[in-house]
Amino acid sequence: MEKEQFWYQNLEGETIGPVSFKDLRDLVEGGEIDGLTRIFLEAHNKWTIVSEEPELSELMNIIANREDDILKANESSLVSKVAFEDVMHSNFGEPKSEDIVAPSKKKLTLDDLKKKEKKRLKRIEQKKKKRERWNEEVAKNNTSIYFTGIPSDATEEEVVEFFSKCGILKVDPYSGKAKVKLYKDESGNLKGDGVVTYALQPSVENAFKVLDQTEFRFGTGTRICLEPARFELKGDDFIPRKFPNTGKPLFSTRQLIEQKTSWNDGVDDGRGLRIVILKNVFDPKEAISDQNYYNDIREDILEECTKLGEIEKLTVFERNPEGVVAVRFRSPAAAESCIELMSGRWYGGRQLEAEFYDGKTDYRYKETEQERKERIKKFEEWLGADETADDGGVSFLDAY
């Protein structure tokens, strides 16, 4: 505790720190920190209230003793003052009006002090209720799950893969790692429980429906149990996390979601070796007269590539002049086999090209300004067309 660092919020809501535990004691004794002060525990990676954290009981004792001392001092001062005035009155009579000096503050009786203390306790109760309402609001938007039942030799990578089945995991904006905590015992061994945090609320609902009471490792018979995380310390220790003192975040949760839901997942590293780019698969001109053209292309490529390995996503870049299709495999080996099979192969009278995705090229079709104008013009002509065709034939409504 003495070596740990802390942050706290002052009355203006400013976050101040880091400070040592000794500094906290000094701040408590000086009245800067009280039992309702919000404080961040670096070792536990959480914000809490001084009065609600067992490990800060020493500070609460200081606060309690300090308030008792203040109350006793006020009472003692009041009693002494009343006794002094009684003696002065009995010896010298009533003071003359010119001897009376207006006090800067109203004299407080013992009853006044008790009323003041009741008001202080009432304010504390109001703050407590406000904090409870805030906690309820946090619980509604909670995307963290507490889990138990993982093997003692489980790795963080396994946990990430297991929970990623139901959604995008929230990541640390500085390290880029998924927000997963595995709790340890005093000996440093995994206790079998931990906390994982999703980026979106629907993923939490999916996890409870799909993953709760299922086997973490198939065939072991040990089932994992899930419950909403309550931001309480569930173990004696957990895998430590490094906190950067400076530096710009790598990305935000919003950027992560955009990456994960895009066609290429924002891949710009070795994972690109799982994505194969097939070129010359189709001719955009042929799609003009065939509404099912791109669907047929997708089904054909999917049928062939599935033979090589599990496919995570297949994207047909409609209207792309190079006729591009992207196939993302689960394993790099399957992607490599796809390149070997598809390179130079003939499909629909066209010779295919196959290569790994370079991690940066955007194959989505970008409409030119001229094409946009022509498209708008055709649409306007269609809206203004006569109900009957020029050839004197069929009515527009009769065609349906």
Q: β-pairing, 214-215 with 223-228?
A: antiparallel
Whole-number pLDDT of residue 246:
45
- By C-alpha distance, which of 313, 222, 320 is closest to 267? 313
How far apart are alpha carbons 163 and 207 in whole angstroms?
7
- Contact criterion met (CB below 8 Å) for 40 and 34: no
Q: Which residues contact 271 (CB under 8 A, 6 or more apart)?
A: 265
Whole-number pLDDT of residue 96:
46
CATH match of 1-93 with 3.30.1490: yes
Whole-number pLDDT of residue 294:
92
How far apart are alpha carbons 116 and 125 in whole angstroms?
14
How far apart are alpha carbons 90 and 356 in whole angstroms?
103
Residues of the chain under the 70 pLDDT cut: 1-3, 11-12, 35, 51-110, 113-114, 130-131, 133-141, 173-174, 231-272, 383-400
Paired with 57 in beta bridges are none
Letter string b/e over residues 347-385, b meaning 16 or more CB atoms within 10 A of that residue's CB: beeeebbbebbeeeeebeeeeeeeeeeeeeeeeeeeeee
Q: Taking the domains of the chain in order of start, what are their residue ranges?
A: 1-93, 144-238, 262-356, 369-399
How far apart are alpha carbons 394 and 157 in whole angstroms?
65
Whole-number pLDDT of residue 183:
92
Helices then strands, each counted (H, E), the chain: 9, 16
How far apart are alpha carbons 300 and 303 in whole angstroms?
5
Q: pLDDT, tens digit, for every residue of 200-238?
A: 878 888 888 888 999 888 777 788 999 988 754 444 443
How far apart are alpha carbons 158 and 147 in whole angstroms?
14
- By C-alpha distance, which of 314, 318, 315 is closest to 284? 318
* Fold match, 1-93 / 144-238: no
DSSP sequence for 250-292: S--HHHHHHHHHSTTTT--SGGGGGEEEEESS--GGGGTT-TT
Q: Which residues contact 139 (CB under 8 A, 6 or more apart)?
A: 228
- By C-alpha distance, which of 306, 279, 308, 283 is closest to 294? 283
Q: CA torsion 247→250→251→257, rounded to 10°?
A: -150
Whole-number pLDDT of residue 337:
87
CATH architecture group of domain 144-238: 2-Layer Sandwich (3.30)
- Contact criterion met (CB below 8 Å) for 190 and 182: yes
Cα 142 to the chain's mean position, in Å?
Answer: 9
> What does CATH list as the number for 262-356?
3.30.70.330
- By C-alpha distance, which of 259, 277, 258 is closest to 268? 259
How far apart are alpha carbons 179 and 172 in whole angstroms?
6
Tokens (6 digits) for 126: 């109001």
- By C-alpha distance, which of 15, 3, 2, 4 is closest to 43? 4
Q: End-to-end CA distance of the chain, in Å?
A: 79
Tokens (6 digits) for 130: 């406000």
Whole-number pLDDT of residue 2:
61
CB-facing half-sphere around the CA of 93: CA atoms within 13 A: 2
Q: pLDDT, tens digit, for every residue of 245-297?
A: 445 454 555 555 555 555 554 444 444 478 899 999 999 988 888 888 999 99
- Contact criterion met (CB below 8 Å) for 299 and 290: no
Q: Which residues contact 199 (CB under 8 A, 6 or more apart)?
A: 143, 167, 168, 169, 170, 171, 253, 256, 257
Q: Which helix (H) or strand (E) holds 155?
A: none
**CA R_g for the chain:** 35
CB-facing half-sphere around the CA of 249: CA atoms within 13 A: 10
- List helix spans (H) across the chain: 21-29, 57-92, 110-140, 156-163, 201-210, 253-261, 293-306, 332-342, 369-383
